[in-house]
Amino acid sequence: MTVQEAKTWLLAAAAKRGVELEVLSTSERQLMLEARGGKPSEVKSSTRAGIGLRVVDDGRTGYASTEELTTDALAWALDEAVANAAITPAAGGALPRGRALGRTDLLGEGLSAPLADKIATSVSFEQAVTADPRVQAMQFGRYMEAEQQVEIGSTAGVDGGYRAGIALLLGGIVMREGESVKQGYHVDPAGDYHQLDPGRTAQTMLARVGRQLGAKPLKTGRRRAVFEPEVVATLLELLVYSLSGKSVVEGKSRLAGRLGERVASPLVTLVDDATLPGALGSRPFDSEGTPSARLTLVEEGVLRSFMHNSVTARRTGQPNTGHASRTYSSTLNVSPTNLLLLPGAGIGQTDGVLVTDLMGVHAGANPISGEVSVQAMGIETVGGEPHPVDDFAISFDLFELFERVSAVGDDPTWSTDGNTIVNAPSLCVEDVSFAGG
């Protein structure tokens, strides 16, 4: 049975039983190629696919999933979802009304190159990195790609599908110069294999890690701080937690109740845009079939919206923004798509610390309270002369930091942690506390 046939069968069966049903099919194919010593060393390919059911029966919601597309498996999954709904507290659940959404191919021929070419790309990347005599070890050097297909249908009228994908090069290295040893990694994502350049990615990683060689401990004190785009992306990944309607509903957002209020510097405008052509997080609709649209979250420092799915929108009395996310095997969540911090006029070069890397963020940052205390690396400029620094900690309140932004760079850069797609420029904040040696 095909996915389309399974969806049709399930919707018909749900209609006979008098229950609301949403059917979400997701499939993902992944490829990983690794090279060592100028030769391919590992090839891994995997596919994961299934159908997820969300049933609403008398205001109660239940989930179930199956990876088998047989009549027996589908019937079991529907029975399971109905049974799970029966033991769930009534919360006025309902599926969002929908329409025919069509089928959209966002990937095209983006991953169509022969496997031999992709293997050659991974080898070229590894060779370009290890050609630098300062590289003591290459911990990993990989080409990776993922292709996703989504199909959705519901008894509420939703019907559509899309195909998307991503390709990337990533590597981790240890570099030595004299007695100084530094390690780091770099990820270079693209929506099309043909946009990748192994030589460029290698040089970017070598420059990012190599600039920290010879670093000296930073002295404790207060200084002007400039956060590089990749660091800003990490900060936004923390901030976005409080911009989720799910966090608002659960009482875990420090921004709850502040719509229309100033929550950041007037220089800060934050947008989420799933409609951006060619961007890695773009999609025609969310995991409930709500059409995608550009959403302004923070406009010149003023909080304009939270991200919502249909459930969080109903519970807060706010509009559904089309940010539902789930896979066939998970429950409903809220997630950003392409998170954009709009660039500014640029940041002047003066004395201070350029923060190039934050370490231990998952352990040292609390997205609910906004408290951040982590180790960092950077470049300090004194009297116009830059030099690398390390062995220091930086502590701040995340929300206060965005309120104190004094300049926004004109250097927007795409980055991803594997979950969130961010395009952000550098940010400048005056008088930040650094704890060093």
Residue 341 is given by DSSP the state E
pLDDT score of 122:
97
Domain parsing of the chain, residue ranges? 3-207, 215-437
Sequential DSSP letters for 42-61: EEEEEEEEEEEEEEEETTEE
> Distance of alpha carbon 424 from its chain centroid, rounded?
13
Which segments of the chain have a pLDDT < 70?
437
Report the alpha-carbon distance of residue 91 to residue 134 in Å, rounded.
60
| pLDDT value of residue 417 | 80
Predicted pLDDT of residue 419: 82
- Looking at residue 231, what is its pLDDT? 96
Looking at residue 66, what is its pLDDT?
Answer: 97
**CB-based contact 432:402 (threshold 8 Å):** no
| pLDDT of 208 | 95
The per-residue pLDDT for 437 is: 67
Q: How many CB atoms lie within 10 A of CB 251?
A: 8
Alpha carbons 98 and 115: distance in angstroms, whole number: 40
Query: What CATH architecture does domain 3-207 belong to?
Result: 2-Layer Sandwich (3.30)
Q: What is the identity of the amino acid at 323?
A: H
**pLDDT tens string 138-163:** 999 999 999 999 999 999 999 999 99
